């Protein structure tokens, strides 16, 4: 599992940075990737990466401001031309479905694959056997949501040496034990999963926030996360501007990470007043005074989601 930023600017693109979008790459886990927000030119950024739209499984939109959605109609309409034939599901706030339908209808765009749009107002957004996505409302000028993506814990690895001692060879019994089922050895002995399984592998948690001012739901979504992606539109000397525009400063993002007990913080959604990475360094340094394990999002750079004990 890796995170790749396709845009890190707030409001409008610049020569150095595109507007907001990020890909959660899960090729080892699901052979797919998920997209979070889709600002203008996101599909162009994807062409510059190793990502393929044919592998895009889901899109999660945080809110309906243009710098987070203006790239969506183009991406949806051109996905089929890049080999995308599988179903694509798009999640986001009320109004998203109308935006997509009107854009595609008026442009006479044809979608050659199954497209599902699911609007939500928070809560459990998606769940399967491997992963769960929850969402909560944040504090912004329009309804803006954060997402908590939680892998489910997995059973530990089978101890092949112990299995051999019980006379078991690779086959259906291995699968039963991995599923937590006991095995009758046929001699009156019952082999329990805990007898041959290692410690469970704890699932990772990634929290990705939309635009927001500091609020309690940030802490709820980020609680004990392995990785938190938090907007940091301004340095802290502009905290009044941040409040007036319903955004956060780098210090406020770091304080949230500290309070929520997250393991790693990545800052993004930077004001265009900070021209390049050099101008962003003071923003990073002041955040690290509060939360040392902080990084700056960089476009087309892979950030692994580490598994913490």
| CA–CA dist 215, 198 (Å, integer) | 40
Nearest to 91 by CA among 129, 44, 128, 133: 133
Query: CA nearest 249: which of 257, 67, 64?
Result: 257
Distance from C-alpha of 262 to C-alpha of 52, rounded to nearest angstrom: 31
Q: Is 243 annotated as a binding residue?
A: no
Asked whether residue 276 is marked as a ligand-binding residue, the answer is no
Out of 67, 153, 224, 237, the active site residue is 67
Q: Among 19, 10, 26, 13, which residue's Cα sits nearest to residue 302?
A: 26
67 is known to lie in a ligand binding site: yes
The mean pLDDT values, 10 residues at a time, for the chain of 309 residues are: 98 94 96 98 96 97 98 96 94 98 95 96 97 98 98 84 82 81 82 81 95 98 98 97 97 98 98 93 98 98 91
Beta bridge partners of 170: none
Strand boundaries in 14-153, DSSP class E: 21-26, 32-36, 56-60, 88-92, 115-119, 123-127, 131-137, 145-151
Give me the pLDDT at residue 309, please: 67
CA distance 138 to 212: 6
Q: What is the pLDDT of residue 31?
A: 96
Whole-prediction pTM = 0.90
In whole angstroms, what is the distance from residue 183 CA to residue 104 CA?
A: 55
The per-residue pLDDT for 156 is 78
Provide the H-helix boundaries in 33-116. 42-48, 66-69, 72-78, 96-106
The verdict on whether residue 63 carries a ligand-binding annotation is yes
Instruction: Report the alpha-carbon distance of residue 286 to residue 130 in Å, rounded.
Output: 37
b/e per residue 236-266 (b: at least 16 CB within 10 A) = bebbeebeebbbbbbbbbbbbbeebebbbbb
Domain ranges across the chain: 2-154+201-304, 160-196
Active site residue 128: no
Spell 2-18 as b/e; 16+ CB within 10 A means b.
ebbbbbbbbbebbebbb
Return the pLDDT at 196: 83
Second-level CATH architecture of 2-154+201-304: 4-Layer Sandwich (3.60)
**Cβ(156)–Cβ(198) under 8 Å?**
yes
Nearest 10 degrees: Cα torsion 135, 49, 80, 3: -20
Element (H, E) at 4: strand 2-7
Q: Is 246 annotated as a binding residue?
A: no
């Amino acid at each position: 599992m890796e995170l790749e930023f396709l845009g890190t600017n707030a409001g409008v693109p610049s020569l150095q940075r595109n507007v907001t979008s990020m890909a959660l790459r899960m090729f080892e886990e699901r052979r797919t990737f998920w997209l979070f927000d889709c600002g203008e030119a996101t599909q162009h950024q994807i062409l510059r990466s190793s990502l393929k739209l044919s592998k895009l499984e889901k899109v999660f939109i945080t809110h309906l401001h243009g710098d987070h959605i203006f790239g969506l109609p183009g991406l949806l309409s051109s996905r089929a031309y890049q080999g995308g034939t599988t179903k694509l599901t798009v999640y986001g706030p009320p109004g998203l479905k109308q935006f997509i339908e009107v854009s595609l209808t008026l442009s006479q765009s044809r979608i050659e694959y199954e497209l599902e749009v699911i609007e939500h107002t928070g809560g459990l957004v998606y769940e399967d056997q491997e992963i769960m996505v929850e969402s909560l409302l944040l504090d912004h000028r329009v309804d803006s949501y954060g997402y908590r993506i939680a892998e489910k814990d997995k059973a530990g690895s089978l101890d092949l040496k112990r299995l051999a001692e019980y006379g078991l060879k690779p086959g259906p019994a291995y699968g039963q034990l991995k599923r937590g089922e006991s095995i009758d050895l046929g001699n009156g002995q019952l082999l329990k999963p805990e007898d041959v399984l290692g410690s469970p592998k704890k699932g990772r948690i990634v929290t990705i926030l939309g635009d927001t001012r500091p609020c309690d739901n940030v802490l709820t979504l980020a609680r004990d996360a392995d990785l938190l992606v938090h907007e940091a539109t301004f340095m802290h000397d502009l905290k009044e501007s941040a409040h007036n525009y319903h955004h956060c400063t780098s210090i406020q993002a770091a304080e949230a990470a500290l309070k929520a007990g997250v393991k790693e913080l990545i800052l993004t959604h930077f004001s265009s007043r900070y021209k390049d990475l050099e101008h962003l360094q003071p923003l990073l340094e002041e955040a690290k005074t509060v939360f040392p394990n902080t990084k700056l999002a960089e476009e087309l750079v892979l950030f692994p989601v580490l598994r913490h004990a």
